[in-house]
Amino acid sequence: MPSGGYREGSGRKRLSDNSLKRVLSITMSADEWERIDNLIAQGFFESKSEYFRKLHESQFASRDSFKVPQ
């Protein structure tokens, strides 16, 4: 039985062309990552990606309160 290689329908499914995302590398201290990991473990977020998406969305939820950092 062959193994490996291309198999129709296998692998991670693509989201959709409308929801293509970019990869971003974030450098933070071990303590900061641990705090995020704890929130994920407690069920507040499903992943680090979700944490950062929600953080980003919350910044733009109210344009009146959003301030660009100086």
Residue 6 forms part of a structural domain: no
Residue 48 forms part of a structural domain: yes
SS3 for 1-68 is CCCCCCCCCCCCCCCCHHHCCCCCCCCCCHHHHHHHHHHHHCCCCCCHHHHHHHHHHHHHCCCCCCCC
Residue 53 forms part of a structural domain: yes
| Tens of pLDDT, residues 6-60 | 778 777 776 666 666 788 899 999 999 999 999 999 999 999 999 998 998 888 7
Residue 57 forms part of a structural domain: yes
Which residue range forms the structural domain that includes residue 41? 30-61
Cβ distance 66 to 59 under 8 Å? yes
Residue 41 forms part of a structural domain: yes
Residue 15 forms part of a structural domain: no
Residue 10 forms part of a structural domain: no
How many domains does the chain contain in total? Answer: 1
Residue 5 forms part of a structural domain: no
Given this model, what pLDDT does residue 20 score?
66
